[in-house]
Amino acid sequence: MKRFVIRRIISMVAVLFAISIVTFCIFNVIPNSDPAQRLAGRNPTTGQIEAIRRQWGFDKPVYTQYVKTMEKVFTGDLFSYVNQTDVDEKIIQDAPRTFSLAIGAAIMWMFVAISLGLYSAVRAGKFADRFLTVLALIGISMPVFWVGALMNYYLGFKWNIFPNGGYVPFSDSPLQWAYHLIMPWTALSLLFIGVYSRVLRSNVLDTINDDYVRTARAKGLPERQVLLRHVLRNSLIPIVSLWGLDFGAVVGGGALLTETVFDLQGVGQYAAESIGQLDVPPVLAIVMFGAFFVVVLTTVVDILYATLDPRIRLT
Amino acid sequence: MAIEPAAELATAVPEAIVAEGGGTRVAGLAPWRIALRRLRRNRTALAFGALFVVIAGMCLAAPIYAEQVAHTDQFKNHLLEQITIDGVKRDVVSPSGVAIGPTYTGRFLLGADGNGRDIAVRLLYGGRTSLMIGLSAAPLTMLLAIVVGMLAGFHRGWVDAIISRALEIIWSFPVVLLGVALGTALALGGLKIGPLQIDGESELIPILIIAVIYVPYLARPVRGQVLALREKEFVEAARAQGAGSLRIMFSEILPNLSSTIVVFFPLIVANAILLEAALSFLGAGVRPPNPSWGTMISEGVDRIVTGPHLTIVPGIMLVLAVLALNVFGDGVRDAFDPRAKVRVKHR
């Protein structure tokens, strides 16, 4: 266990390191994107640009710039090239919005997907199963920003059922918080419900004929208990590992499409906007932030795995 | 499309011998034959496969529709023109900037956009772009993934270590985030690798980006299979005959990967089309004014209040095409490898 965690931490650091280099390179190979010129504002003199270049260290070789930028990511005095705002402060300010989106959507998609997947498997081959399969495939096939835009227009703007954008912190009013987030949650969940319900369905079908399930039935357990306690528990394992990755990605700003279309002002939207302005520091910081969550959650899930199923050994 | 089973099979196997588990000839059937027969029986999958072919055919016919029916092209704007519908003259785009909705007549069948361009015409041309990107990115992904996966699985050791780490790095980025970052960077600077130069405006850029992003999803299963296949007796036999590594990879191992490749293909095309739309929505895919379903949705969302049809119409086409591929791909998977756990994420 201890060895497992240490190994994971080492590989996590390696992956984060590689990711930061890739991100830095993507933005440093672009010609005509001198950050000094953007920092200098409109109509700068050559002297001003030179001064900024020296002050921000753009005259140094690329690897020195990389090391300096990474130092700043961790010490917290990283500034945007475009508007000189503190990047870490902005991320901390945006993170609760992204986390609110992630936690609500994750509960929604897990709950709905597990119910639908289980029902679908119990009714395998019947009409309900086929109907749900089609629904799941439709969910997988819809672009989230399209669904989001239509929800915004019809439910938010035209029929006024849900608030059209805006965010209320949980601490102000939990009810309003949920009310304002219900559309983004639904839009984001649709895709995951499609994927998860189908994975669960096939897992349930794999386990439902196992010996221990027959034993459970034979000893007279009610069908409900057989399904929930014996079948579902074993079918959930792969779902849990999927969930770790997806939840980590959403928390880390991976849901940038959903955030952008609902104008949630979360970390993902910040990333999307910064990329559009070729603003390297925020992108670098957010990518690190996101990858960190993905790696941490994968590790947590692996440990959870071993507790759910003692046959799995951590190496 | 990779497979067109119906015609070929109709003559191949008489229905009487087809019964599962019975007859001596069944045991002798090649796996491909069995899979194709299963696919042929799956009416839903075939119907959706046909739907995709119809959509693709319609998009191919875009110039004919534009010239013969709509009398315009994909870029021409009719901002200040009027058209007559049921004897009433109406502005294509009203002075306040509201575009005309669906007219259900030859011109502006599905309405106009904010620049007075014919939506139906752009929809068909946009479909060409979207499908072209999907259908070129997917084979490129396949090619890269097979080469990379075979090298890693076959040579193992440090080759495998390097390739696996590289795949893991691509895998660790959220798909859309990596796509947008690459798209924005490459669109500004273009791409120069040795003699190969790609202009930033080119549609080759989204194709390349999408192809590279999806490589790990196929390369990983391929690597796993190759690791197992290389220990099989037939590989040993080939080696005993004096075959070299390349020969073994191409004539012994590659044919055994074919069902994995066939199963993944429609799903990767579907996801490539979706990713193109997402990139275009965030301004990092196809460049306006070139239409694609993604750019059309993106332009539509900006004007959704005055003309919801601008968002709805291209979205429905996109969903239909992707759904058709997904249902067909599902059928292909059931036919070729029912127990395969095939997943391509896009988040």
pLDDT of B32: 81
Residue whose C-alpha is closest to residue B145's, from B206, B217, B209: B217
Contact criterion met (CB < 8 Å) for A145 and B281: yes
Mean pLDDT confidence for A31-52:
69
Residue A181 has pLDDT above 70, yes or no: yes
From A135, which residue of chain B is nearest by alpha-carbon distance? B323
CA distance B193 to chain A (A): 12
CA distance A216 to chain B (A): 25
Average pLDDT, chain B: 81
Q: What is the C-alpha to C-alpha distance for residues A269 and A288, in angstroms, rounded to an integer?
A: 15
Residue B311 has pLDDT above 70, yes or no: yes
Look-up of token digits 């079918």: A235
pLDDT of A59: 72
Contact criterion met (CB < 8 Å) for A276 and B283: yes
| Coil/strand/helix, residue A26 | helix
pLDDT of A31: 57
Q: What is the C-alpha to C-alpha distance for residues A19 and B172, in angstroms, rounded to an integer?
A: 8
Backbone φ and ψ for A22, nearest 5 degrees, come out as -60, -50
pLDDT of B26: 52
CA distance A147 to chain B (A): 9
Set of chain A residues whose Cβ sits within 8 Å of the Cβ of B185: 26-27, 29-30, 278
- In a mutagenesis test of the B interface, which of A275, A288, A297, A298 is the best target, namely the one with the most B β-carbons within 10 Å? A275
Backbone φ and ψ for B89, nearest 5 degrees, come out as -85, 135
Contact criterion met (CB < 8 Å) for A249 and B180: no
- In a mutagenesis test of the A interface, which of B42, B51, B171, B177 is the best target, namely the one with the most A β-carbons within 10 Å? B177
From A140, which residue of chain B is nearest by alpha-carbon distance? B323
Three-state SS for chain B is CCCCHHHHHHHHCCHHHHCCCCCHHHHCCCHHHHHHHHHHHCHHHHHHHHHHHHHHHHHHCHHHHHHHHHCCCCCCCCCCCEEEECCEEEECECCCCCECCCCCCCCCCCCECCCCCEHHHHHHHHHHHHHHHHHHHHHHHHHHHHHHHHHHHHHCHHHHHHHHHHHHHHHHCCHHHHHHHHHHHHHHHCEEECCEEECCCCCHHHHHHHHHHHHHHHHHHHHHHHHHHCCCHHHHHHHHCCCCHHHHHHHHHHHHHHHHHHHHHHHHHHHHHHHHHHHHHCCCCCCCCCCCHHHHHHHHHHCCCCCCHHHHHHHHHHHHHHHHHHHHHHHHHHHHCCCCCCCCCCC
Q: How many residues does chain A have?
A: 315
Helix axes B43-60, B309-336, angle to 10 degrees: 140
Q: Which residues lie closer than 8 Å to B97 by C-beta, 6 or more apart? A: B114, B306
CA distance B187 to chain A (A): 9
Backbone φ and ψ for B342, nearest 5 degrees, come out as -100, 125
Set of chain B residues whose Cβ sits within 8 Å of the Cβ of A22: 169, 173
Q: How many residues does chain B have?
A: 347
Of residues A33, A199, A246, nearest to B347 (C-beta): A246
Of residues A22, A191, A275, nearest to B180 (C-beta): A275
Alpha carbon separation from A143 to A24, B294, B322 (Å, rounded): 29, 9, 10
Is the pLDDT higher at B74 or at A173?
Answer: A173
Contact criterion met (CB < 8 Å) for A256 and B345: no
Residue B9 has pLDDT above 50, yes or no: no
Of residues A143, A191, A260, nearest to B318 (C-beta): A143
Is the pLDDT higher at A283 or at A299?
Answer: A283
Of residues B169, B312, B346, nearest to A18 (C-beta): B169
Three-state SS for A81-99 is CCCCCEHHHHHHHHHHHHH
Is the pLDDT higher at A8 or at B241?
Answer: B241
CA A212 to mean position of chain CA atoms? 36
Set of chain A residues whose Cβ sits within 8 Å of the Cβ of B322: 141
CA distance A175 to chain B (A): 28
Mean pLDDT confidence for A169-184:
87
Is the pLDDT higher at B196 or at B158?
Answer: B158
From B269, which residue of chain A is nearest by alpha-carbon distance? A141
β-pairing, B196-198 with B191-193? antiparallel
Mean pLDDT confidence for B65-77:
76
pLDDT of B82: 74
Give yes or no for a contact between B63 and B70, defined as CB atoms under 8 angstroms apart: no
* ipTM (interface pTM): 0.85
| Coil/strand/helix, residue A79 | strand
Set of chain B residues whose Cβ sits within 8 Å of the Cβ of A199: 341, 343
Give yes or no for a contact between B36 and B8, defined as CB atoms under 8 angstroms apart: yes
Q: What is the C-alpha to C-alpha distance for residues B226 and B232, in angstroms, rounded to an integer?
A: 10
Rounded to the nearest 5 degrees, what angle is found at the Cα of B262, between the Cα atoms of B19 and B132?
A: 135
Set of chain B residues whose Cβ sits within 8 Å of the Cβ of A134: 327
Set of chain B residues whose Cβ sits within 8 Å of the Cβ of A137: 323, 326-327, 330
Tell me, yes or no, if A10 comes closer than 8 A to chain B by beta carbon.
Answer: no
Set of chain B residues whose Cβ sits within 8 Å of the Cβ of A138: 319, 323
Q: Is the dihedral of CA A284, A288, A291, A293 positive or negative?
A: negative
Structure-token pair, residue B111: 């309405």
Structure-token pair, residue A94: 């945006």
CA B195 to mean position of chain CA atoms? 28
| Coil/strand/helix, residue A265 | coil
pLDDT of B197: 73
Buried b (16+ CB within 10 A) or exposed e, B160-176: beebbebbbbbbbbbbb
- In chain B, the domains with their CATH numbers are 77-116 (no CATH), 120-330 (1.10.3720.10)
CA distance B101 to chain A (A): 17
Lowest-confidence pick of A91-95, A281-285, B220-224: A281-285
Of residues B188, B278, B312, nearest to A145 (C-beta): B278
CA distance A143 to chain B (A): 6
pLDDT of A145: 92
From B275, which residue of chain A is nearest by alpha-carbon distance? A143
> pLDDT confidence of A37, banded at 50, 70, 90?
low
| Coil/strand/helix, residue A27 | helix
Residue A44 has pLDDT above 60, yes or no: yes
Mean pLDDT confidence for B273-279:
92
Tell me, yes or no, if B135 comes closer than 8 A to chain A by beta carbon.
Answer: no
Tell me, yes or no, if B164 comes closer than 8 A to chain A by beta carbon.
Answer: no
CA distance B67 to chain A (A): 30
Backbone φ and ψ for A223, nearest 5 degrees, come out as -50, -40
pLDDT of B130: 93
Tell me, yes or no, if B205 comes closer than 8 A to chain A by beta carbon.
Answer: no
pLDDT, one tens digit per residue, over A198-244 is 889 988 888 888 888 899 999 999 988 888 888 888 888 888 878 88
pLDDT of A108: 94
pLDDT of B322: 95
Mean pLDDT confidence for A262-291:
86
Backbone φ and ψ for B221, nearest 5 degrees, come out as -60, -35
CA distance B245 to chain A (A): 31
Give yes or no for a contact between B49 and B3, defined as CB atoms under 8 angstroms apart: no
Residue B92 has pLDDT above 90, yes or no: no
Average pLDDT, chain A: 84
- What is the C-alpha end-to-end distance of chain B, expressed in Å? 26
| Coil/strand/helix, residue A76 | coil
Contact criterion met (CB < 8 Å) for B347 and A138: no
Identify which of A27-36, A38-47, A305-314, B131-140 has the greatest average pLDDT.
B131-140
Set of chain A residues whose Cβ sits within 8 Å of the Cβ of B277: 143, 146
Look-up of token digits 């792969």: A238
Helix axes A233-249, A280-308, angle to 10 degrees: 170
- In a mutagenesis test of the B interface, which of A141, A209, A287 is the best target, namely the one with the most B β-carbons within 10 Å? A141
Q: What is the C-alpha to C-alpha distance for residues B141 and B220, in angstroms, rounded to an integer?
A: 12
